[in-house]
Chain A
Amino acid sequence: MQIYLPIAETSVNVFTMFGMGTAVGFLSGMFGIGGGFLITPLLILMGIPAAVAVATGANQVVASSVSGTLSQWRRGNVDIKMGTVLLGGGVIGAFVGVQIVRLLRQSGYIDLTIALLYAVFLSSIGGLMLIESLRAISRANHGKPVSARRSGQHSWVHGLPLKLRFQRSKLYISAIPPFVIGMVVGLLSGILGVGGGFVMVPAMIYLLRMPTKVVIGTSLFQVIFVAGLTTIFHAAANQAVDLLLAFVLMVGGVIGAQFGASAGQRLRSEHLRALLAILVLGVCVRLMVDLFVQPPERFAIDTITTGA
C-alpha cells in the first residue's frame, strides 16, 4: 500500500516503513539507544530527502524511547536524577547542533560533515566497546567477576566539585561530567538527527561507571527530551518533519521497543555491550564504504526548494 508523504513530497510503501520502524524500535528498546542513527540512513536509502529523513527520524525516536523508557521504569532501571543532569547539557548542545546544520546546508558540505562525524565517532566507540566487552566475556568464561564497575577505583572525575548522590546508579559523583557528556551528545543529536544513545550509553558505562541495565533506562529517558527538542527545532527552522511518515514509523517503533526491552532484559550485560559494539561498527563500515569507495553517481544534485 503506497502512501504520499506531504513534506517529503514522495510516495512510499506503508508496510516497508512500518517494518523499518519496528526493527529500529526493537534495537532501541534493547540497547537504550534512540535508533535515529539507523533510521536516518535507511530513510535516505528509500528516497526520502536527507533533511526530512533527519528531522522525521528524530520524531520517531521520541515515540520509541517513550515506549522503551516506560518499560525500563517499571523495572526500576531509570535514574531520573542522572537523566535530568544529562538533559541540562543536552538541551544546550542540541540547539547549537541545529544551527550548525543550517550553516552547513548553505555551503553544501553537510553530507560530508555528517558522514565524517559518524565515521570518527562510531569507529572509536564501537572499537573500544568491543574490546572491553570481549574481555569481560572471556573473564566470565574463566569464572572471574565481570562487572565493568571497578569499585574503589577513583579517577580525576571523582575530584570535581558539585557532588550529587545518584541512588539508582549507586553513584556519588560531581554533576559536571554528566552535564558535559549531555552537552556533547546533544550537539551530535542536533547535527546527526540521532538521540545520541550510541555515544551516551558507552559514556555512562565507561566514564560514569553506571550499571549497564540502569544505563539503558536512563539513556532512553533523556533521549526522549533531546529528540523531542530536536524535532521541534527542525520543524521550526527547516519545516522538515513529515508527520505522516513519522506516524507510520512510530507505530512500528513503539511495538518494537517493547519486545526489544524484554529481550534485552534476558541478556547478560557484557553480551549486550558486545552486541551494541558490533551494531555500531557495522554502521561505521557502511559509512566508510561511502567515503572511500568510488560513488556510482559522479554528481550530487541539490534542488533548492522555495517552500510549498
Chain B
Amino acid sequence: MIMAGASSFTAARLVARAFLLAVLLALASQRPSAEPRESIQADTSDREIAIESDFTGARITVFGAVDNSRQEAANSGYYDVIMVIRGPAETVVARKKQRIAGIWMNGRSAAFDHVPSFYAALSTRPLDEILDENALRRHGIEFNPKPQRGDLPPPPDEFENAIIDAKKKERLYVIEPFAVAFLGASLFRGTIKLPAKVRVGTYSADVYLFHDGKLLSQHRTSLFVHKAGIERELTALAYNQPWVYGLLSVVIAVACGLAGWTLFSRD
C-alpha cells in the first residue's frame, strides 16, 4: 500500500512538471512573434504607360522590399513572392464552333463578366509548389471570370479554358514561375511584358509574400495605360464626334486619290 501511495505521488509530480514545461515551451514559442512581423512594400517601374504611334508593347518591372526580412541571402529561398497583374475588366463571349449541315458555325456560347483583359501571375517558383489550388483561390490569385448565367458548370469549364487559350496566344494571359527574383535579403523584383494589344485603363498589381504556404503580407499598387499624342486625338474624335470623323476620313481619302493621280498618272 505504502509503495503504491509513493508511486502515485511521484506520478502526480511528473504530471505537474510536464504541465509546467508545456507552459514554458508555449511561452518560449510565443516570444518571436513579439518581434516585428514581415511586411512588404511594392511599386511599379512606371505608374503611367503612354501609347503613342511607335508603341509595340511595354516592359513593366514590379519591385518591392520585405521589411524585417529573416532571410539571410537572396538565394536562401525562405520567402515566396507572387505578383498578379490585371488589366481593366471586360465582357467576353466564347462561342463553340459546331458543324451544322456541313457548315461550320458558332453554336453554344457562354458570356463572362469581369474578365481581366490582361492577366499575369509571376512568382519565385511554380504556383502549385507555393500553395494548393484552393489556397490560391482563397487569396484571389486566379484568373476569375464571372459567368453571366448561373447554370454553367463551375469554372474552369471548356468556355473559360477557351478564353484563356485565346489570351495566351496574344500574350494577354501569362503565367511565369521563376520570373520574380530576390536581389538581396529583402529586395525583390519581377518583370512583365505588356503586348501591343493591351486595353487602355487602370492595371492593378497585387504582390503577395508567403512563407511555408502562409500569407505574411500583401500589397497592391496600380498603373495607368492610356493613349497619347495623335492616338489619343484620333480616338477622342472618333468617339466624341463620329460624323465629323467619318467625313474627315472621306475627305482624306479623296485628297489621297487626287494626289495619287496627279503624281503617278501613267497617261
Contact = CB atoms under 8 A, between A and B. Distances in A.
Contacts of A63: 252-254, 256-257, 260
A161 interface: no
B104 interface: yes
A299 B162 contact: yes
B53 interface: yes
Contact of B253 (A59, A237, A261): A59
A19 interface: no
A224 B52 CA distance: 32
A3 B55 CA distance: 7
B230 A108 contact: no
Given A4-B54, A254-B259, A292 B92 contact: no
A70 B248 CA distance: 21
Given A67-B257, A302-B93, A234 B196 contact: no
A112 B92 CA distance: 19
B250 A11 contact: no
A298 B266 contact: no
Interface in B219-267: 227, 230-232, 234-235, 238-239, 242-243, 245-250, 252-254, 256-261, 263-267
**Residue among B91, B199, B246, B254 facing the most chain A CB atoms (10 A cut-off):** B246
- The A interface, classified by DSSP as helix, strand, loop or mixed, is helix
Contacts of B104: 290-295
Given A9-B197, A60-B253, A67 B261 contact: yes
B116 to A, nearest CB: 12
A300 interface: yes
Contacts of A67: 256-258, 260-261, 264
A243 B261 contact: no
Contacts of A59: 249-250, 253
A303 B95 contact: no
B243 A254 contact: no
B131 interface: no
A115 to B, nearest CB: 9
B252 A236 contact: no
B8 interface: no
Contacts of A228: 250, 253-254
B231 A298 contact: no
B142 interface: no
Contact of B103 (A10, A250, A292): A292
Interface string A232-252: 111111010101101100110
Contacts of B95: 108, 299-302
Interface string A274-308: 00000000000000001111110111111111111
A78 interface: no
B24 interface: no
A109 B90 contact: no
Nearest to A292: B102
Interface string B93-114: 1111101001111100100000
B252 A247 contact: yes
B166 interface: yes
A241 B245 contact: yes
A250 B258 contact: no
Contacts of A291: 103-104
B261 A66 contact: yes
Contacts of B106: 108-109, 111-112, 300
A73 B125 CA distance: 69
Contacts of B242: 235-237, 239
A299 B159 contact: yes
A243 B256 contact: no
B166 A4 contact: no
B184 to A, nearest CB: 37
A175 interface: no
B186 to A, nearest CB: 38
A55 to B, nearest CB: 9
Contact of B231 (A4, A74, A262): A4
Interface string A45-64: 00100000000000110111
18 contacts: A4-B231, A6-B230, A6-B234, A7-B235, A7-B238, A47-B197, A66-B256, A75-B267, A228-B254, A235-B242, A236-B242, A239-B239, A254-B259, A258-B261, A294-B99, A294-B104, A300-B106, A302-B94
Interface of A: 2-4, 6-7, 9-11, 47, 59-60, 62-67, 69-71, 74-75, 108-109, 111-112, 116, 224, 228, 231-237, 239, 241, 243-244, 246-247, 250-251, 253-255, 257-259, 261-262, 290-295, 297-308
Interface of B: 51-57, 90-97, 99, 102-106, 109, 117, 159, 162-163, 165-166, 196-197, 199-200, 227, 230-232, 234-235, 238-239, 242-243, 245-250, 252-254, 256-261, 263-267
